[in-house]
Amino acid sequence: MPVESKVSDAYGKLMESTKELFILQSMGSIVYWDMETKMPSRGVNLRSQQMALLEKISHRMLTDPEKGKLINEIIDHPNYGSLGEVEKRNVFLTKKAYDEATKLPEELVVETARQQALTVNVWKKAKAAKDYGMFRPDLEKLFDLKKRAAEILMDVKGTSTPYDALIDLFEPGMTADMIDKVFTGMRKGLIEIIDKCRDSESQPDTSFMDRGISVEAQRNIAEALTDLIGYKTKGPEAGGRIDETEHPFTTGYYDDVRITTHYHEERFASSVFSVLHEGGHALYEQGLPGEWMYQPVGTASSMGIHESQSRFVENMIGRSTQFWSHFLPELKKLTGDALSDVDLAEFVWAINRVHPSKIRVEADEITYGLHIIIRFEMERDLLAGRITFDELPQAWNEKYREYLGVEVQHDSEGVMQDTHWAGGSYGYFPSYALGNIYGGMMLDKMKADLPDMMEKIAAGSFKEVGGWLVENVHRHGDLHDPADLIKKITGRNLTYTPFLKYLEDKFSQLYGF
């Protein structure tokens, strides 16, 4: 057999095993979706065991010695160089996942999966009861499991701290020190813009934003929004659905990507922007190259790039005057008389109001970054042992007082407001702010490539913007690490300057400074 055929045969076997793993993991994502949306309360203990078993099977498939042999056979083969860029990247990503997974004991992986399901369930109850004491034991237990894994992964990932090992799971190649440098500069710029908005004599009227909108009307608004951006939930071409949950999220794979939201009758905007946010995530998943399905390269580059897509759709498009010049008439139709007296300018100003708040997912576009910086600093301190879980609520409240000037009244609007720590996603939060930065860089390039992009949005067409994102972001999948991808897209290294300029331009027009 020719040497080319031998390396090709080994690569084919490796990709076949990878396909089975992706199929199994996609099953796990739907089991998780069901747990968050449809599962009866009594099902949590059984579900925790189901998810633990799925994780055990996944871990065994990922660490199969045969997989290691195939990886080595391919890499050590004299004809390895004959493989193309995509094939080499698949081998690299498979080897990275294999090397990391083989370092983690199976019992740790299984126990972590089981504890994640239990902790999320306790979090929901504790949040409703406003009782951090109910939540703390499970939260700390899950944290200890994640920290054990991080300490093990430090060596194979080549990181200097456990926190860097966790960050790398979500943002490959990024470290806490690198993030801190970016966040320090960004924080200064954000505070300057916040001060200008706060000191402006002109302030928006937001009184109409808490007018009651029925849940049924909000469901119709959600469907209209997703249809507009091209996320199909109805008919033979549907590849998604919208459901309700405590904390909005997106999950799924290629042809079945599901989003969730929540509806508050006195805060209709909360659902509007969570639907746009999660819709941006879903479009990324569904815009990945179909020919790369079941391959490591056919996944997102990083969670920061993922968040760039969600926050781009939510904010840079979804909070623009052009978007609402088209959609506000539709919103009025769907809400009866509730917003009939609101004009475009006051509506756009109201949804972009700059006002420090206690709740991250309700935060305006500028103060949002401070919410992320707080979580980043707290995660870093937790992993370094500088604060304990008994001290966590007080430390949280002090940072909110210092950074945002707000007083947290109870832990459900404080340390328990997000689901991420309950789900074990330590190291994820920096991705949100990095996503804003990536999005600012992408917007600069998109405007150069599509000078009339916002006119198209005003005309009710998202396909030009969506097409640019598919061509420039989605189609690359995980062919490049995030730093390399953003340079390929924009021609620039990571910089927060375009994002701050975008905010300065937008809010100076709104607030007149």
Amino acid sitting at position 335: T
Query: Of 218, 238, 243, 239, which Cα lies nearest the Cα of 32?
Result: 243
Query: Of 484, 460, 423, 34, which Cα lies nearest the Cα of 243?
Result: 34
Q: What is the pLDDT of residue 362?
A: 86
Element of type H or E holding 260: strand 256-261
Query: Of 55, 2, 5, which Cα lies nearest the Cα of 27?
Result: 55
Catalytic residue status for 244: no
Strands 256-261, 250-253: pairing is antiparallel
The answer to whether the beta carbons of residues 429 and 420 sit under 8 Å apart is yes
The answer to whether the beta carbons of residues 510 and 352 sit under 8 Å apart is yes
Instruction: Return phi, psi of residue 85, to 5°.
Output: -60, -45
Residue 158, Cβ neighbours under 10 Å: how many? 10
Q: What angle do CA 253, 258, 263 make, to 5 degrees?
A: 160
Q: Of these residues, 87, 100, 278, 365, which one is catalytic?
A: 278
Cα–Cα distance, 334 to 332 (Å, whole number) = 5
Q: Could you identify the residue written with the tokens 């600069």?
A: 444
> Which token pair is 80?
């390895």
Q: What is the DSSP secondary structure assignment for residue 375, as one 8-state letter?
A: H
Cα–Cα distance, 293 to 99 (Å, whole number) = 22
Q: What angle do CA 241, 306, 184 make, to 5 degrees?
A: 140
Strand partners of residue 89: none
> Which token pair is 169?
């799971």
Predicted TM-score of the model (pTM): 0.94
Q: What is the pLDDT along the chain (513 residues), one digit of tens a residue?
A: 444 567 889 999 999 999 999 999 999 999 999 999 999 999 999 999 999 999 999 999 999 999 999 999 999 999 999 999 999 999 999 999 999 999 999 999 999 999 999 999 999 999 999 999 999 999 999 999 999 999 999 999 999 999 999 999 999 999 999 999 999 999 999 999 999 999 999 999 999 999 999 999 999 999 999 999 999 999 999 999 999 998 899 999 999 999 999 999 999 999 999 999 999 999 999 999 999 999 999 999 999 999 999 999 999 999 999 999 999 999 999 999 999 999 999 999 999 999 999 999 889 999 999 999 999 999 999 999 999 999 999 999 999 999 999 999 999 999 999 999 999 999 999 999 999 999 999 999 999 999 999 999 999 999 999 999 999 999 999 999 999 999 999 999 999 999 999 999 999 999 999
Q: What is the pLDDT of residue 4?
A: 54
Residue 484 CB partners (closer than 8 Å, separation 6+): none
